[in-house]
């Protein structure tokens, strides 16, 4: 081994001895640096979390501030609205308290009726009225020459103009749960009078209690809810007049107006009512017996939707106390009507007094069934009645009558009203307005009615031989109508009425047989109607 080799080996050994501690120092520094990096990362993460918490807290504070500002703005708007409405804002125990306005309110309904009420809504008053102005002519009469009330010397029925109804009054609410109505009628033909009359008459003077759900307890003079057509307002009937069978049914027990006391209750598909009724306004208090009756009615709608309604019902009435004319006069009732038009006052269909002093009427019953359907724009209605009169010393007198009617409406329809168990009038989809192009609603209608007031009577026999007989005649009416509804407050009606009255007077002797006393009438009449 040369010196050179020895020197080289020594140099390598010394280098290794020197490098070993240096490498160890480098490894320790690297570990410290990694630990410091981890600590810095943890601090950075903690700082990010802290920044996020600070941002969330600021956002929550901002949301709370916005909520507070919105609440204060809403409360300020409510206070301002209360002041504008006439109320007062006062501070009580450090809090602003809003006192409601003390001034009354005026509200307009969808049919343009105006109601003024107290600030708390417990009291209200609403003007109401109607004008039914009729005009018409009797086109033909066969035979002519019949005389009677309302005919001229030639015995011909007289047409003309008649303010059929002119009613004005108020209705409203009292103490929250009570209702009241006061309506006067100065029309030319009062509903409560079979022959008319032009004196101002109390049509409605009633009070009611409405504190029970869907129920009214009422008393006073008002339109009775007896029969389907009688329950329908005169503003909403299809024709100028109700059918003769309805008039016959209600003339002695219900009608409009008559004193009554009772209740009615309902749900969307059924109706129930019962009343005790008495005399009409203007009946003399000098009468010993003024007449007391009871009426009941129940209806059910097996189908009742927004566009479809099917209705059935039954009704009944009993004359409990038969009226008389004073001391030593007969207790009696009668059935009569005109040919479904109130221009001439002549009545052909007429039983005359059914009671005498010797054979007074002791009571009467009326039974009825009703049905109706509204299928979109199509509407139909029908009723049938049986009239029974009890007579002391004689057999019962029994009569029957009925009618059916139908209509189709263009631009409107009839809808069911649950609180009367009946159907309302037509409100045009587009009111009549030449400037805006609206035509209102048009309706075509037809009705057939039949009434038979003949019982236990044979015209081939003398009257004396059949003491139980009643010869009030038989009447059929065919009515065609066109109705033009301008809006919810005005309309026109045009009716053509063909009436046929059939009657035979009895044989007067063995050689003089029965004689005909019938008559046929054709009439054309119109009505302009305003109601509010």
pLDDT at 4: 55
Q: Which token pair is 156? A: 């011909």
How far apart CA 482 and CA 160 sit, in angstroms, is 20
Closest CA to 348 of 155, 134, 509: 155
pLDDT at 160: 94
pLDDT at 199: 63
How far apart CA 50 and CA 400 sit, in angstroms, is 96
Question: For the CA atoms of the chain, what is the radius of gyration?
Answer: 44
Q: Which token pair is 314? A: 């039954």
Domains and CATH numbers, the chain: 129-531 (2.40.160.10)
Closest CA to 366 of 292, 316, 295: 316
Evaluate whether 364 touches 394 at the Cβ level (below 8 Å). no
Q: Which token pair is 418? A: 């649950």
- For residues 182, 184, 189, 191, the Cα torsion angle rounded to the nearest 10 degrees is 10
Taken as a whole, the chain contains a residue count of 532
For the stretch 392-445, pLDDT in tens is 999 999 999 999 999 999 999 999 999 999 999 999 999 999 999 899 999 999
First-residue to last-residue Cα distance in the chain:
141
Residue tagged 């507070």 (tokens): 68
pLDDT in tens, the chain (532 residues): 555 555 445 444 444 444 444 444 456 557 767 777 777 777 788 788 777 777 777 777 777 788 888 888 888 888 888 777 777 788 888 788 887 767 788 888 877 888 999 888 899 999 999 999 999 999 999 887 665 444 454 678 989 999 999 999 999 999 999 999 999 999 876 554 444 555 668 899 999 999 999 999 999 999 999 999 999 999 999 999 999 999 999 999 987 788 999 999 999 999 999 999 998 887 777 778 889 999 999 999 999 999 999 999 999 999 999 999 888 899 999 999 999 999 998 899 999 999 999 999 999 999 999 999 999 999 999 999 999 999 999 999 999 999 999 999 999 999 999 999 999 999 999 999 999 989 999 999 999 999 999 999 999 999 999 999 999 999 999 999 999 999 999 999 999 999 999 999 998 887 787 788 889 999 999 999 999 9
pLDDT at 32: 62
How far apart CA 386 and CA 396 sit, in angstroms, is 12
pLDDT at 301: 98
pLDDT at 16: 47
């Amino acid at each position: 081994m040369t010196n050179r080799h020895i020197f080289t080996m020594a140099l390598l050994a010394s280098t290794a001895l020197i490098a070993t501690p240096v490498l160890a120092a480098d490894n320790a520094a690297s570990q410290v640096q990694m630990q410091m990096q981890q600590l810095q990362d943890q601090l950075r993460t903690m700082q990010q979390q802290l920044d996020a918490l600070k941002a969330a807290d600021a956002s929550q504070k901002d949301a709370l501030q916005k909520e507070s500002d919105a609440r204060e703005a809403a409360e300020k708007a409510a206070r301002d609205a209360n002041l504008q409405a006439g109320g007062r804002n006062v501070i009580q125990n450090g809090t602003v308290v809003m006192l409601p306005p003390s001034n009354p309110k005026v509200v307009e309904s969808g049919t343009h009726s105006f109601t003024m009420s107290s600030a708390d809504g417990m009291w209200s008053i609403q003007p109401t009225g109607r004008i039914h102005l009729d005009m018409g002519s009797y086109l033909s009469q066969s035979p002519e020459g019949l005389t009677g009330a309302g005919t001229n010397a030639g015995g011909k029925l007289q047409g003309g103009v008649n303010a059929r109804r002119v009613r004005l009054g108020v209705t409203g609410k009292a103490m929250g749960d009570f209702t009241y109505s006061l309506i006067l009628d100065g029309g030319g033909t009062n509903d409560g009078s079979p022959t008319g009359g032009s004196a101002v008459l109390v049509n409605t003077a009633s009070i009611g209690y409405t504190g029970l759900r869907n129920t009214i307890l009422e008393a006073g003079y008002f339109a009775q809810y007896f029969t389907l057509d009688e329950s329908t307002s005169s503003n909403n009937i299809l024709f100028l007049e109700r059918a003769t069978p309805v008039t016959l049914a209600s003339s002695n027990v219900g009608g409009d107006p008559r004193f009554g006391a009772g209740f009615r209750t309902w749900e969307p598909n059924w109706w129930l009512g019962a009343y005790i009724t008495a005399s009409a306004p203007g009946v003399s208090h000098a009468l010993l017996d003024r007449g007391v009756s009871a009426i009941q009615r129940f209806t059910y709608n097996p189908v009742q939707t927004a566009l479809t309604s099917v209705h059935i019902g039954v009704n009944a009435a009993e004359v409990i106390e038969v009226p008389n004319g004073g001391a030593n006069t007969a207790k009696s009732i009668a059935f009569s009507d005109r040919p479904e038009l109130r221009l001439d006052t002549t009545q052909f269909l007429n039983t005359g007094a059914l009671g005498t002093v010797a054979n007074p009427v002791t009571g009467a019953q009326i039974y009825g069934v009703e049905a109706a359907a509204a299928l979109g724009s199509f509407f139909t209605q029908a009723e049938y009645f049986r009239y029974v009169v009890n007579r002391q010393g004689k057999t019962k007198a029994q009569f029957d009558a009925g009618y059916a009617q139908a209509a189709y409406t263009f631009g409107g329809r009839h809808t069911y009203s649950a609180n009367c168990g009946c159907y309302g009038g037509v409100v045009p989809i587009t009111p009549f307005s030449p400037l805006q192009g609206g035509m209102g609603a048009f309706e075509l209608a037809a009705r057939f009615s039949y009434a038979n007031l003949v019982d236990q009577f044979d015209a081939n026999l003398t009257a004396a031989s059949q003491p139980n007989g009643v010869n009030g005649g038989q009447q059929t009416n065919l009515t065609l109508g066109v109705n033009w509804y301008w809006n919810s407050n005005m309309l026109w009606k045009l009716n053509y009425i063909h009436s046929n009255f059939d009657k035979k007077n009895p044989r007067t002797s063995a050689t003089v047989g029965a004689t005909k006393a019938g008559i046929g009438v054709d009439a054309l009449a119109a009505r302009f109607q305003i109601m509010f």
